[in-house]
Amino acid sequence: MLSRGSSPRRTNRFAVAGIAGVAAVTLLAACSSSGGSSSSGGGTASAPASSGATSASPTGTPVLAGGNCSSSAAHITFWAWVPGMNRAVNEFNSTHTDACVTLQDPGAGTGEYVPLNNALKAGTGAPDVAEVEFDLLPSYEIQKYLVDLVPYGADKYKSLFAPWAWSQVSQGNAVYAMPSDFGPMGFYYNQQTLAKYKITPPATWDEFAADAVKLHSQNPKAYLINFPANDPQWLMDMMAQAGAWPFQYTGGANLTINWAGPAQQKFAAYWQKLLDEHAVSAIADLSPQESTELDTGTLGGAIYSAWAPSYFAPNVRHSVGQWRAAALPQWTAGGKVGTDWGGSTYPVFSQSKHPAQAAEFSEWLTATDQSWSIVKTPPSSLFPTYLPTLQSSSFKALTYPISGTSQPNQVFSAGALSIPLTTWPPFMTQVLTQGATTFGAVVNGKQTLMRAFTAFQQQETAYAKSQGFNVTT
Amino acid sequence: MSETALRPAARVVTRPSTPRKRRRRSAYARRQGRAGLAFVTPFMIIFTLIMIAPLGYAVYQSLYTTKLIGGTSFSGFANYSAVLQSGDFWGGVIRVIIFGGIQIPVMLAIAFFFATIFDLGVARWGPLFRAIYFIPFAVPIVVSSVMWGFLLDPAYGPFNHLMNAVGFHNFNWLSGNLMIPSIIIIAIWEWTGYNCIILYTALKSVPRDVIEAAILDDTPLWRIIVRIKLPMVRPAIIMLVFINTIGAMQLFIEPTILNNYQAGVVTNTWTPVIDIYSTAISNGQYQLGAAMAVVLAVIVVAISVASLGFRGRRRGQQ
How far, in Å, CA of A147 to CA of A11, rounded?
Answer: 51
Q: Which residues of B touch A297 (CB under 8 A)?
A: none
| Averaged pLDDT, A260-278 | 96
Q: Is B174 on the interface with A (CB under 8 A)?
A: no
| Conformation bin of residue A38: beta by default, left when phi > 0, alpha when psi is -120 to 50 | beta
Distance CA B94, CA B89 (A): 9
Give the residue from B80, B250, B288 with the most A CB atoms within 10 Å of its CB, the best one to mutate. B250
Task: Write down the ipTM of this complex.
Answer: 0.78
Task: Say yes or no: B238 contacts chain A, CB-CB below 8 A.
Answer: no
- B243 to chain A: which residues are within 8 Å by CB? 7-8, 10-11, 16
What is the per-residue pLDDT for A39?
35
Residue A466 carries which side chain, given as an amino acid letter?
A: S
Q: What percent of chain B has pLDDT over 90?
A: 56
pLDDT mean over A451-471: 97
- Give me the pLDDT at residue B315, please: 53
What are the structural domains of chain A? 1-30 (no CATH), 63-182+345-393 (3.40.190.10), 183-340+421-472 (3.40.190.10)
Q: Kindly report the number of other CB atoms within 10 A of residue A230's CB atom.
A: 27
Q: pLDDT digits over B300-317, tens only?
A: 989 878 877 776 665 544
What per-residue confidence (pLDDT) applies to A28? 37
B194 Cβ under 8 Å from any chain A Cβ: yes
Distance from CA of B274 to the nearest CA of A (A): 10
DSSP conformation letters of A337-393: ---EEEEEEEPBBTT-S-HHHHHHHHHHHHH-HHHHHHHTSTTT-PPBSBHHHHT-H
| pTM of the shown model | 0.82
- If we measure between CA atoms, which residue out of A180, A81, A117 comes closest to residue A390? A180
CB A385 within 8 A of CB A175: no
Q: pLDDT per residue over A363-405, tens digit each?
A: 999 999 999 999 999 899 999 999 999 999 999 999 999 999 9
The three state secondary structure string of B222-262 is: HHHHHHHHHHHCHHHHHHHHHHHHHHHHCCCHHHHHHCCCC
Mean pLDDT value of segment B254-270: 91
Whole-number Cα distances in Å, A88 to A324, A346, B203, B208: 30, 14, 63, 71
What is the reported pLDDT for B240?
93
Q: Report the distance separating Cα A299 and Cα A318, nearest Å.
A: 13
Percent of chain A exceeding pLDDT 70 equals 87
Q: What is the pLDDT of residue A46?
A: 35
Looking at the domain that runs over B79-317, which CATH code has it been given?
1.10.3720.10
Question: Is pLDDT at A181 greater than 50 in this prediction?
Answer: yes
- CB atoms B300 and A283 under 8 Å: no
Q: What per-residue confidence (pLDDT) applies to A313?
A: 86
Which residues are paired to B154 by β-bridges? none
Q: How far apart are CA B14 and CA B213, in angstroms?
A: 60
Q: Does B185 touch chain A (CB under 8 A)?
A: no
Residue B154 has pLDDT above 50, yes or no: yes
| Nearest chain A CA: its distance from B252 CA (Å) | 6
User: Domain residues of chain B, as ranges?
Assistant: 2-45, 79-317
Our CA-based measurement puts residue B227 at a distance from the nearest CA of chain A, in whole angstroms, of: 26
Search chain A and give the residue with CA nearest B192. Answer: A8
pLDDT band (50, 70, 90) for residue B109: very high
The SS3 assignment for A183 reads: strand
Contact B284 A228 (CB under 8 A): no
Instruction: Using a CB–CB cutoff of 8 Å, tell me whether B82 touches chain A.
Output: no
